Amino acid sequence: MNIDSAWDIIDRVLADQLPQVAETLRGPVDDADLARLAQSVGRELPADFVTSLRRHDGQDNPTALLDLFDHHTLLSATAMIDHSKMRIEALGDDIDDTIDWMTPDKVRPIMNCRGWLQFTTAETDGYALDLAARW
């Protein structure tokens, strides 16, 4: 199934079952924000991810009560840029500085990487794409 078909189903189910959540979904991202997003992580964005952003550029969910799934709100391209900048300012982006106590099975044992792109938020948590994977 392609991304547009998946969004067709998601949009239809949300409109039918959770119209309040459906209303939080933003329209498509604009090209300028896409270019800024790719520049902020220093990597080319995956085609499926771009297709998804062209469908919905995150959510407007200021209360954090109308999350899309599992208490996670979809971030807009601008919010992804802001999260990336904040992580780099707080943690740096040295991918060679490994954390000894972590076992590298699902994530790389590093503190932060400029190529990580967080696309959801749930308080201090979130899902991310690793656009800089080299392991």
In the prediction, which pLDDT does 16 show?
97
Residue 55 structure tokens: 């469908």
Check the CA dihedral 64-70-72-77 and report its sign.
negative
Check the CA dihedral 98-88-66-26 and report its sign.
negative
- Confidence band, pLDDT 50/70/90 cuts, at residue 123: confident
CB 107 within 8 A of CB 52: no
**What are the residue ranges of helices labelled H in the chain?**
3-17, 19-22, 31-41, 47-55, 77-91
Residue 107 has pLDDT above 90, yes or no: no
In the prediction, which pLDDT does 110 show?
66
For the stretch 86-101, pLDDT in tens is: 877 777 666 566 666 6
For the stretch 19-75, pLDDT in tens is: 999 999 999 999 999 999 999 888 889 999 999 999 999 999 887 777 777 788 999
Q: How big is the chain, counted in residues?
A: 135
Whole-model pTM: value is 0.83
Residue 114 has pLDDT above 80, yes or no: no
- Averaged pLDDT, 102-122: 72
- Confidence band, pLDDT 50/70/90 cuts, at residue 128: confident
CB 90 within 8 A of CB 101: no
In the prediction, which pLDDT does 94 show?
62
- Of the chain, the end-to-end C-alpha distance in Å amounts to 28
